[in-house]
Structure 1
Amino acid sequence: MANTAQCYYCFESLLASFEDREPTTLAAVEALWEQHEQTKKLSSLEEQIEEEDTDRQQSINEQDEDDDSNQSSQSNSRPKKLQVPRISRLQSQFSASSSAATSSSSASNTSSNSLQSSSTNITTPSAVSGTPQLRSPDQRYPLFVTWNTLSRSGHKSLRGCIGTFEGQELAAGLKSYALTSAFDDTRFEPIPKSLLPSLSCSLTLLGSFEPCTNAMDWSLGTHGLRISFIHRGRRYGATYLPDVAVEQGWTKEEAVESLMRKAGWDGGGGSTARRLLRGAAGGNSGATKPWDQVSDFRTVRYQGLKASASYAEWQEWRQWVLSLDDGEEILEGAD
């Protein structure tokens, strides 16, 4: 369900906020993204056909030069030049393919698992789709929007990440948390417009929430983690998305301890290494685990579907939209 178009919509929402206007709709962005993808496929296919045609003609010419004595007979048997299919034919082929893919995606979406609550249906995403799927108005998605900056060398640095475990209508949720993560993440200064060209956006749709039997009952690279615990009479909580521990190169224990510190735990009087040494000396290393030093430690694992887009990718799509007759009007949105 997560796709690049939704990241483009986050960029559009951020740009619109800088320009003090409303962004275009998510539905418009997804439709134009799909058209752009088909246009790129058509262009790629045309280039491939032209290259094959050129290679074939070159091969014929080389054969003619080698067989001058039989030029007349070879001329009669020479293969005809490969004809490039008309654009209308290529478009009709892709339209048929797109319709089939949409039908398949819709069927898959209908059969996807849902977490039921008394007030809303929280949809559990089942796959990252290359084609936007039809969504019913009552579908809700827990989601997180992440902004990173990319250096010229390609190094990625976190610039804001905020989301919610409460199911959101997708368009409203994306717009809200694209701006919240850009402007209200207290770990960073609000993102200025001047930083826009160095940004990349990632969207994670969450699902498959399961309580863990213990702090290690989850898999690196598969599960995100949400913890809560009581320490010195106060409850703390925090979460890491599924890709965080892998990107940081952490073990599961390191990830849980880091998550506890993110929540506000003060370390219980020392680092893990010092506590392990003290525990080994005392013959009881089990008591040194960070989660054993707090009360009512709870862990929930979940899975997420992620899509990402850079500023350059968004701009390539945006410039294509602006080249359309009504592109500027579409992207201006409604005041």
Structure 2
Amino acid sequence: MIGYIPKENSKDIKRLIEKERADLVKLTVKGYMTGGKYKAVNLDDHIYTGEKPYSFSLQISVEKTPFAQTSKGKNKEHIIDQRNELIIHKLRKPLNSFVSVDIETTGLNASFDKVIQISAVKYVDDKLIDTFNSFVNPGKEKLPLTEFIINKTGITTQNVKAAPTFNDIKGSFEKFVGDLPWIGHNIFAFDIPFLYESGLSINEFYAEDTFIIARKHLDRTVLGNLKLPTLKEYYGINEPSHNALADSKTAALVYKHLRDDKLPKILKDANDKMLSLNGIHFLVIGSFPEFDHDQMIEQIKLRGGIIENRWTNNTQYLINGITNKHYKSIQNAKDHNVQFLNFNSLVALINTKDQQLQVFDN
């Protein structure tokens, strides 16, 4: 590699090239050289010559080639990973006994990102009978954890530094899940492939994906999206988000709601307004693990709250999310003693205002 490439990126590319079979990786290398003597013609048709310093640039592109194919049988549908013979059977029947699995990772690419938490909850005859939860040491190349991952998951470098490696923990995890079918949110596209890529010994899975079920049964235009935090809010499930153990519990409860076709409407829509925040001025900055930025604004507007684009003298609450930018409005709000809220404190405020309005209406 010629020129400056961040150390972590170059190591990731090197591992990817070395790890994957040649027929499963498309490696493209392009080189460009410029400079030397030249001859040109100006607008007056005058020919002139010159010379520029030589320079060389090299572009390396690594892409995984498609390896998944779908084949349909009479009773089941397989997703087959031709690269490593991973087989996922999509179940088409209600499950009363299952394990709900969720993981947290250092990133989304299973080729060089690592598991940092693995969790599962076990249900037998619809009763929660056991849980599995462990932080996982991702290796020194992934430590310390990035600020983004720490903010998103609440998992710190200290949590995983002394934890067992994935190889250390996989045996006990496999024993825990046994031969029960799996459920999870986006488990077909992420959790199962990621775990197998990480070295899980199981190669054949019987599973249901709550994201796919929700896509068939719920109206995305009302909810905004079908992320697990959104479905948690929709069904009124009281669990944290972006923690593997909490998410595995949430996915299990969401699955039971979807399975039994229980669709209580928790989110307010335009036909179900409760103007408990009527006239209150809010400034929303950044993103949130539980709701995206637009969803947060919509929930405030539906209750009559006023959204401001920047701090003003009318600002009463600043909803402070995760952001990499510096906003002058944040400092202005601090200087004027504006109350700061995170997601949980906003929910508490909304619940209090909703209850106050209901008491007033009664």
Decide which structure has greater helix share.
1
Decide which structure has greater strand share.
2
Structure ranking higher on relative contact order (CA contacts 8 Å, 6+ apart): 1
Shared fold per TM-score greater than 0.5: no
- TM normalised by structure 1 equals 0.26
